[in-house]
Structure 1
Amino acid sequence: MEYTLDLNWPDFIERYWQKRPVVLKRGFKNFIDPISPDELAGLAMENEVDSRLVSHQDGKWQVSHGPFQSYDHLSENNWSLLVQAVNHWHEQSAGLMRPFRALPDWRIDDLMISFSVPGGGVGPHLDQYDVFIIQGVGRRRWRVGEKVPMKQHCPHPDLLQVEPFEGIIDEELEPGDILYIPPGFPHEGYSLENSMNYSVGFRAPSGRELISGFADYVLQRELGSHRYTDPDVPSRQQPADILPEELDKLRGIMLELVNQPEHFNAWFGEFITQSRHELDVAPPEPPYQPDEIYDAIKQGDSLTRLGGLRVLRVADEVYVNGEKIDSPHRPAVEALASHITVNAGILGDALEDPSFLAMLAALVNSGYWYFED
């Protein structure tokens, strides 16, 4: 189904985005869960899917990671099943991400879905990224505290919780309600009855990740071979001293690499389009020939993007899952980034170019786009 979010985006961004948490009552009117608890439990039994069970019994927290063989050992209260990147594996759930494309695609990460029994939750904690938590079937109580320095502790090696906090939000969420939480605000939710929650998370790369990723790019391409030189080496009082101007020159060698747009843009396109979770890639067998792609699209078929596939434009180039798309047909290539589904009208005259068809066939045969049955 198609989800419509009842939200004034300019007003929301001005008042709340990365500023304050807020409950959006009936953000989705007449909300229908895209997935059932049984389907979610089935996904958590798959090897490729990231999942965990979090329980709190007799004052002790327990965490176990999937894939799970059975759920027969679980009690009737105080546990949650959490499954990451469900939008990669479940087409209907992927549709829940689309209303959030009012925000930049590159910032959107994945859809985590949880099923909780009464009392189920993961304890008080805070995240370093923005999240929209959509209430599905059932009711769940959420508390959100003020953004202040907080002590963190680990009741379990896989859980990082915070100390108790005063709530600035304390509400029961019902189907279709949305809780938005910016980074750094402590929060805690627990189910009042069997319930489903859908968390749309956002990427927030750290300086450490950026530097590490760019360093890998530099090494792979054997860039940065320019060495330090000092033909007019300055004198100093002590031979052990490294002078400020020498440090400036060394820093300049490093900054020179970052400040080359052609390299920085190419690296970032590759870096930011790589998924942090497995994709449900299923290359067609037998592979499509370019003329088969042409005939199908011309006859009215559409190509749909694989759930969770990251397709982004950096400057004038489009990147897919860590690779640049090479084609002179800019409008058609940019359409692959802008649209979830493409057809003959969107791709236009590019379909008449054998080189574009060959490139498109390669994407389809990689499992990145597919013809819907």
Structure 2
Amino acid sequence: MDYQLTLNWPDFIERYWQKRPVVLKRGFANFIDPISPDELAGLAMESEVDSRLVSHQDGKWQVSHGPFESYDHLSENNWSLLVQAVNHWHEPSAALMHPFRALPDWRIDDLMISFSVPGGGVGPHLDQYDVFIIQGTGRRRWRVGEKVPMKQHCPHPDLLQVDPFEAIIDEEMEPGDILYIPPGFPHEGYSLENSLNYSVGYRAPNARELFSGFADYVLQRELGSQRYADPDVPSRDHPADILPTELDRLREMMLGLINQPEHFKQWFGEFITQSRHELDVAPPEPPYQPDEIYDALQQGDTLERLGGLRVLRIDGEVFVNGEKINSRTVRRWTP
């Protein structure tokens, strides 16, 4: 399926991206679901796939995590099945990601798909990332509030919600409609009938994740071995004092590592191409040999990109799944 998104990207970025939520009516005209509820339920039975069931009854919330063996215990109301990274496992669903490549690949995370029965949802909550929510079959009511400080609570240990909010968007979504929500805007959605939703989520690392990832890189490569030195150690009023000039020198030591462009580029390429979810990898036995692959390509066979594989470039260098690919041929290839 070739999904065509009716969206003026420059106008959208100027007016809405990370600024305001918006409903894009018929963003996908004549939308056709790439997956059925039964197929989604089947994926949630696989141990490699991240999934969860969220249900509520009389104000009590329950969350269970896959893989699931059966759904016979579920009622006809008030539950949702959510499956992460479906683009890693289901090629027709992965096609939904293509229209969103107007935004940088490195910012895209994964495609989460949910199936909900009437009343199904996860309650009012916040996300710290951008998301496009595409309405598939069925109808769902969405409410979005203003971005203001909100108190969060856990009605279940695996479920974080916010207090009720006043809506600035209150919309009944139909197939092909898209709801864009920037980070920090409270929202909630409840199915009005059996429905499918497709969430294209974006990756936004925080400073803590960046520091932690770079620290791992430094340790793995045994960088930063230079020790603190003070041949001109200054005098002080008391031996217990640490002087501002000494703090500056220590900070400069740390910043000196980050300020090495080649190392920073190498680290970020590896860091940002690591997938947060499993990939559909089944190594052949015995492994293919280079000449076998060459012969197959010469005979007209083609290589297909693995679903969810993160392939990015920095200054012409290609990074794939957490590794830098050292090949002049690969560098000429556009991911």
TM-score class, shorter: over 0.9
Q: How much identity, in percent, do the aligned residues show?
A: 86
Alpha-carbon contact 2:316-2:331 (below 8 Å) kept: no
Gaps of 5+ in 1: 339-373
> Deviations 1:36-89 (Å, cap 9, x if unpaired)?
000000000111110000001111000000011110000000000000000011
Q: TM-score, normalised by structure 1?
A: 0.88
Q: 1:238: which partner in 2?
A: 238
> Deviations 1:279-337 (Å, cap 9, x if unpaired)?
010223443333333333334332111000001112231111111101123xx4342x5
Measured at CA, do residues 102 and 334 of structure 1 come closer, stay the same or move farther in structure 2, by a change above 3 Å? farther
Q: 1:254: which partner in 2?
A: 254
Distance, in Å, in 2 between the alignment partners of 1:301 and 1:203 is 34
Q: 1:206: which partner in 2?
A: 206
Distance, in Å, in 1 between the alignment partners of 2:234 and 2:293 is 66
Distance, in Å, in 1 between the alignment partners of 2:195 and 2:270 is 38
Q: 2:10: which partner in 1?
A: 10
**Aligned with 2:132: secondary structure?**
strand
Distance, in Å, in 2 between the alignment partners of 1:214 and 1:256 is 13
Q: 1:354: which partner in 2?
A: none
Distance, in Å, in 2 between the alignment partners of 1:264 and 1:234 is 33
Deviating 4+ runs (over 6 angstroms): none
Q: 1:165: which partner in 2?
A: 165
List aligned pairs for 1:67-106, cutoff 5 A: 67-106=67-106
> Deviations 1:135-171 (Å, cap 9, x if unpaired)?
0000000000000000111111111100111111000
Q: 1:288: which partner in 2?
A: 288
Q: 1:154: which partner in 2?
A: 154
> Aligned-pair distance for 1:29?
0.8
Q: How many residues align?
A: 335
**Aligned with 1:234: secondary structure?**
coil
**Aligned with 2:319: secondary structure?**
strand
**Aligned with 2:142: secondary structure?**
strand
Residue 312 of structure 2 corresponds to residue 315 of structure 1:
no
**Aligned with 1:128: secondary structure?**
coil
> Aligned-pair distance for 1:241?
1.0
> Aligned-pair distance for 1:4?
1.1
Distance, in Å, in 2 between the alignment partners of 1:292 and 1:29 is 44
Q: 2:179: which partner in 1?
A: 179
Q: 1:333: which partner in 2?
A: 331
Q: 1:117: which partner in 2?
A: 117
Q: 2:107: which partner in 1?
A: 107
Q: 2:305: which partner in 1?
A: 305
Q: TM-score, normalised by structure 2?
A: 0.98
Alpha-carbon contact 1:318-1:334 (below 8 Å) kept: no
Distance, in Å, in 2 between the alignment partners of 1:334 and 1:174 is 43
Alpha-carbon contact 1:313-1:334 (below 8 Å) kept: no
Distance, in Å, in 2 between the alignment partners of 1:120 and 1:36 is 17
Residue 140 of structure 2 corresponds to residue 140 of structure 1:
yes
**Which amino acid in the other structure matches residue 38 of structure 1?**
D
Distance, in Å, in 2 between the alignment partners of 1:68 and 1:170 is 33
**Which amino acid in the other structure matches residue 40 of structure 1?**
L
> Aligned-pair distance for 1:209?
0.4
List aligned pairs for 1:58-73, cutoff 5 A: 58-73=58-73
Q: 1:35: which partner in 2?
A: 35
> Deviations 1:196-231 (Å, cap 9, x if unpaired)?
000000000011100001000100111000111111
Alpha-carbon contact 2:54-2:61 (below 8 Å) kept: yes
